[in-house]
């Protein structure tokens, strides 16, 4: 146990700056959405504090590293949450939601509240009230990969 304490006691500012450099390089190579960048920045901050206060014990160095890392990650998380991107095409990668509001004729009857329709080049599972083949329906919602439909005639009532 004494040897571990002596290893930690030998830590100087260059270890912290080397750790910071390694983490930043790993961030560039791996691309972890800036996670390792902030941990690396925390190591650089601890190295700077150790440069200013060389008598800082290794226990306080690790404690400072943990606190600064947590603070940096909390800052980054808060910053990202406030800066949400709003798209002019919010359903771009949600193909099923693009069909909401679309009117389609049933090619198969809707039995027991379930059926399927063809929209463009794909068949979709649908749910709604029972309806015969040839009924004009409107897609009013989505539940996973199932489209919710209602009859156009029942909407007018």
For the segment 77-133, what is each residue's pLDDT rounded down to a tens digit?
Answer: 999 888 877 777 776 777 788 889 999 999 899 999 999 998 888 899 999 999 999
The proportion of the chain whose per-residue pLDDT surpasses 70, expressed as a percent, equals: 94
Stated pTM of the model: 0.56
Domain, as residue range, for 131: 95-156
Is 89 within the bounds of a domain?
no
Domains identified in the chain, total number: 2
Distance CA 102, CA 124 (A): 13
Is 75 within the bounds of a domain?
yes
One domain for residues 117 and 56 = no
- 145: Cβ–Cβ under 8 A, 6 or more apart, which residues? 96, 124, 125
């Amino acid at each position: 146990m004494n040897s571990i304490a002596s290893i930690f006691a030998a830590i100087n500012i260059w270890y912290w700056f080397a750790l910071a450099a390694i983490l930043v390089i790993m961030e560039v190579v791996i691309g972890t959405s800036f996670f390792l960048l902030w941990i690396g920045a925390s190591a650089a901050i601890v190295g700077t504090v150790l440069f200013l206060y060389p008598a800082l014990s290794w226990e306080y160095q690790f404690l400072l590293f943990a606190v600064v890392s947590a603070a940096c990650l909390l800052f980054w998380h808060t910053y990202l949450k406030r800066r949400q991107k709003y798209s002019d095409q919010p359903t771009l990668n949600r193909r099923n939601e693009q069909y909401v509001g679309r009117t389609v004729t049933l090619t198969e009857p809707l039995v027991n509240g379930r059926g399927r329709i063809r929209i463009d080049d794909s068949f979709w599972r649908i749910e709604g009230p029972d309806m015969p083949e040839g009924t004009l329906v409107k897609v009013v919602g989505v539940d996973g990969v199932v489209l919710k439909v209602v009859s156009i005639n029942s909407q007018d009532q």
